[in-house]
Amino acid sequence: MNGMSLKKQQRRTSSKIQTSLLTLDLFSGAGGITEGFRQAGYKCLYGNDCMPEAIETFSLNHPKAWADPRDIEEVKPAHIRSRLDLKRGTLDILVGGPPCQGFSINAPERFLHDSRNKLFKDYVRFLEEFEPKTFLFENVPGLLSLANGKVYRQIVLEFERLGYHVTTRILFAAHYGVPQERWRLIILGSKFSSIMPPPPTHYATGRTNFRGGRTLAFHLQPDEKNRLLPAITVQQAIGDLPRLEMGYGAELVSYTATAHSDYARLMRNPVGITFNHLAAKLSRQNSERMKYVKPGGSWRDIPHRLLPKGMKRARKSDHTKRYGRLRYEGLAGTVMAKCDPHWSAVFLPDQDRSLTVREAARFQSFPDSYRFLGSRVSQYEQVGNAVPVLLAKAIALQIRKHLEARGS
């Protein structure tokens, strides 16, 4: 009798693991979080973003989800829930985060009344209507210091008011197999109990020069290098993609070399093609500047006479990534919404050109089958604004464990 009960229990558990958990994605952009959760076995029912090209990309790559291009302030959550035919409390997770430009420590101006900083209230409207079992709210670490922490505290109070156990952590994307120096603030909520953040799987270190960096981020010790996988390097991430000269490439290209790393094999499209691999033409001035920058170098390698006027007054310790050239053996810097050498390291280690959209997407751990639509400027923006897919997947798997442990 006990044996039969155990077998039934095992079958039920197996069935739960195979069942897709249901998600709604707000501020979905091109779908980085959506893709990470999809790879972890979730089913996205609805995605909302008001950037036309981003929601077109989202729709192309997640055709079974309802892609809504309206401004979220115009959306009535009750109508969405009715159309999806979901009872309150049955949605497994609400994911997303408002546009982060108003929170970012890199923004030119940071002030509380930026309209973009009020969009979290729309996120709360969906929480109130759907009452999901869990939620993921993500943003940049700069949110913690905005208005001396007032905005962050208000967000957490709203979540707790709705009956959620809230956990806050700052995660380093490279700890989860993403070949990039990128930090994200994640706020996890559950109706049941606190959700622990996913533990690092890869050994990498990065500077935590922001509020919360000491207490909310994982700080790996040297002896942990032996038990964790090594960080994924620039070479492992993009070394197999077709080499290009400036101004060449295509929206659809075939591979010209075999996959040279486990990461490349993970990213590869099984049908042998990928997308968005065009090398932009640089201005004559930037082409000349690029010649002087060594792998791992930056604007400090460029002769003073060739520097932009503003950079001529900069201190050598400032703007360490500007006009930077990547190192094959290192991590990529944070992928930005603009592929502009004036703002970040976008020069290839051994090719005299800047990153293609596909190479930037590899650094964001988008699979090569993921195609970005719109102008090339828009494609870079979509990639740069996304949450790295493998970081989202690690969070999704952790939440799945949490839900399955409670029989949800």
35-58 core/surface letters (b: 16 or more CB in 10 A; e: else)? bbbbbbebebbbbbbbbebbbbbb
Q: What are residue 21's DSSP bridge partners?
A: 42
Options 44, 50, 100, 339, the catalytic residue = 100
Q: Cβ–Cβ contacts within 10 Å for residue 343, how many?
A: 17
> From CA 187, how far away is CA 117, in angstroms rounded?
16
Return the structure tokens found at 249: 């490439």
Q: Find the helix or strand (DSSP H, E) in which 157 lies.
A: helix 150-161
> From CA 384, how far away is CA 401, in angstroms rounded?
29
Amino acid letter, residue 104: S
Return the structure tokens found at 108: 């030119």
- The answer to whether residues 192 and 165 touch, using CB atoms and an 8 Å cutoff, is yes
> From CA 166, how far away is CA 188, in angstroms rounded?
6
- The answer to whether residues 235 and 329 touch, using CB atoms and an 8 Å cutoff, is yes
Amino acid letter, residue 32: G
Q: Find the helix or strand (DSSP H, E) in which 299 lies.
A: none
> Which of the 8 DSSP states describes residue 246?
T
339 in active site = no
Q: What are residue 217's DSSP bridge partners?
A: 170
**Residues noted as catalytic:** 100
